[in-house]
Amino acid sequence: MSKIALITGITGQDGSYLAQLLLTKGYEVHGIRRRASSFNTMRLEALHQHSLSGAPSRLRLHFGDLTDASSVTQVIAKVQPDEIYNLGAQSHVNVSFGTPEYTTDVNALGPVRILEAIRSLKIGNKVRFYQASTSEIFGATQEAPQNESTAFSPRSPYAIAKLHAYWTTRLYRQAYGVHASNGILFNHESPMRGETFVTRKITRGIADIERGLQSSIVLGNLDATRDWGHARDYVEGMWRMLQQPEGDDYVLATGVSHTVRTFVETAFRHVGRTIIWEGEDLSEVGRDAVSGQVLVRCDGQHLRPSEVGALIGDASKAKARLGWTPRASFEDLVEEMMVHDMRLGGFSNFTSRAPSRQSGLLESA
């Protein structure tokens, strides 16, 4: 009998990589998707195509929403999963400052709804639960690198809601004996990354500059640092957490950090351009060293009301207990994203693939 997994946020970056991993491992994979006025399952299209060519599809989607307890409970009751991966979230930190109440509803109360469903359905002794926690909960911490013992200091509505979810997950583990784990993941990117996160904004922007579709990329804080890994490596870590005899909390990170500025320079090198920086603060620009063309500009709208400190993770516990290590280097990651966006032409081509078979994924369309 194959194991059954349920993934919330299956239409997102991590959801698509995790679904692929679990299908490869022989799981029957179910996902909760939100109802939208246009197709939002583009990232899953390749998986569905793959299944069309072989055995009957082991991937099923169900409409639901983390803000709606009844839909969450109904899907769990119907699917009877062995493992639940809660990846669904309003995941954009800057957006959370403008939508604090909604962000809290999805990111903090969403996991409460899932864990209460597990309790009310009396499946707490059978199901294993993964919560997508985040390095953002370390926020303004002075400690570096950060590990599972580092004090929390969240600096955004997003991070505060995720910290609520972190404690909720621990509570259900300790109070009710649920196999529940927090994956405290540092930034991880890929060609499937959403286009408003800085890495994809840069790689897609460069692809569009090279096509003559835009003249420059407009960014915020160029000196922000992040510990960037590859999403493919991180979903492997999520799965490993749920294969342990007990639930626990683990940091996943590369232990190497770079600035946004370095990401920009590295990505432009892929298309043979060297960036020269001129000016200060929001007047700073990045020019092509040869042509002098301004390729990078700054705009205050991309600055946040409060920023986190230098986030860099220590994943020693995951390495020792899970045997997990990230494979892709920073350079590998930038290269893969650039190759993808140069080939596909970034956002416009990605979204223009209007799939006709989308409803084939749905049990209850």
**Residues making contact with ligand GDD (CB under 6 A):** 91, 93-94, 134-136, 186-187, 196-198, 201, 219-221, 224, 226, 260, 302, 304, 307
Cα gap 19→83, rounded to integer Å: 12
Which among 19-27, 181-189, 293-301, 335-343 is the span making contact with ligand NAP, rule CB under 6 A?
A: 181-189
10 within 8 A of 85, measured Cβ to Cβ: no
Applying CB under 6 A, among 187, 221, 254, 358 the residue interacting with ligand NAP is 187
Backbone angles phi, psi at 114, to 5 degrees: -65, -45
Which among 73-81, 85-93, 208-216, 285-293 is the span making contact with ligand NAP, rule CB under 6 A?
A: 85-93
Helices (H), the chain: 13-24, 45-52, 69-79, 93-98, 100-104, 110-120, 157-176, 198-210, 231-242, 260-270, 316-317, 330-344, 346-352
31 within 8 A of 246, measured Cβ to Cβ: no
Q: Is residue 199 flagged as an active site residue?
A: no
Backbone angles phi, psi at 160, to 5 degrees: -65, -40
Write out the two tokens for 36. Answer: 């939208």
Q: Is residue 136 flagged as an active site residue?
A: yes
- Among the listed residues 11, 27, 28, 136, the single catalytic one is 136
In the complex, minimum distance from the CB of residue 194 to ligand GDD, in angstroms, rounded to a whole number:
8
Site string for ligand NAP, 22-61 (x = CB under 6 A): ----------x-x-x---x---------------------
Q: Is 188 in the site for ligand NAP (CB under 6 A)?
A: yes
In the complex, minimum distance from the CB of residue 163 to ligand NAP, in angstroms, rounded to a whole number:
12
Nearest residue to ligand NAP on Cβ basis: 12
Closest CA to 99 of 127, 67, 135: 67
Our CA dihedral for 52, 58, 64, 66, rounded to 10 degrees, sits at -120
Q: Which does 15 bind (CB under 5 to 8 A by kind): ligand NAP, ligand GDD, none?
A: ligand NAP
Length of the chain: 365
Q: Is residue 17 flagged as an active site residue?
A: no
Cα gap 286→268, rounded to integer Å: 11
- Among the listed residues 41, 73, 103, 134, the single catalytic one is 134
Q: Which does 260 bind (CB under 5 to 8 A by kind): ligand GDD, ligand NAP, none?
A: ligand GDD
Active site (catalytic) residues: 134, 136, 158
